[in-house]
Chains A and B, each alone.
Chain A
Amino acid sequence: QLQLQESGPGLVKPSETLSLTCTVSGGSINSSPYNWGWIRQPPGKGLQWIGSVYYTGSTYYNPSLKSRVTMSVDTSKSQFSLKLNSVTAADTAVYYCARERIAAAGPLDCWGQGTLVTVSS
């Protein structure tokens, strides 16, 4: 049974870089055609797709975040990662990782439990 688990700091200072990792277990991160995505949800608000990465390293980013986002994959560790630079309080959110069946189109058929990242000094 496929499982995803997010990990990383729960507190990041303004202007610094948010870094999260998602570990995939119970399935292969190399599975075609799946992409591996990140989605966030500010407290009390809706969901926003951040982007996704294929096991070859190909990436797809939300145009509104593209200038600040970098995603990568480490197939040897069955992990994929998110870096979001120059963060502000507006980046405070629960960050989810998920499996994406078709790049940038979904569906997102398996989700991690989410991790809260707070941006504050």
Chain B
Amino acid sequence: QSALTQPPSASGSPGQSVTISCTGTSSDVGAYNYVSWYQQHPGKAPKLMIFEVSKRPSGVPDRFSGSKSGNTASLTVYGLQAEDEASYYCTSYASSNNLIFGGGTKLTVL
């Protein structure tokens, strides 16, 4: 199974919104609602931000929102803040009991 496709970088100014895409296939993102998003700051472990496409774990600000259309999932960050600057990774369940990651997107807050 190939990795999910994410843009290498994204950016936005404080207060703006930014959307990061995660493109898979009809065998992974398009077939299952098991898409998650993780935030990773340099030197730190990833943190779960979104699961099952659009659900937020307790403690994650509602500025973070997830969605899916066809084979592409998206993470939108509203009202960008300096602390949102990090790398973001998507994952999806794929057939044959495999969990695949996207290549990651580095989000810069200008």
Residues of A within 8 A of B (CB): 37, 46-49, 52, 60, 62-63, 96, 100-109, 111-114
Contact = CB atoms under 8 A, between A and B. Distances in A.
B38 interface: yes
B51 A47 contact: no
Contacts of B89: 46-47
Contacts of B57: 107, 109
A112 B3 contact: no
The 10 A-B pairs with the shortest beta carbon distances in the complex, nearest first, are A107-B51, A105-B93, A111-B45, A104-B97, A49-B99, A105-B34, A107-B36, A46-B104, A47-B101, A60-B97
Contacts of B34: 102, 105-106
A63 B96 contact: yes
A120 B4 CA distance: 30
Given A46-B103, A105-B93, 11 more contacts: A46-B104, A47-B46, A47-B89, A47-B104, A49-B98, A52-B99, A60-B98, A62-B99, A104-B93, A106-B34, A108-B48
Classify the interface of chain A: helix, strand, loop or mixed: strand
A104 B48 contact: no
B98 A104 contact: yes
Contacts of A107: 36, 48, 51-52, 57, 91
A96 B100 contact: no
Interface of B: 1, 3, 32, 34, 36, 38, 45-48, 51-52, 57, 89, 91, 93, 96-104
B104 A113 contact: no
A42 to B, nearest CB: 12
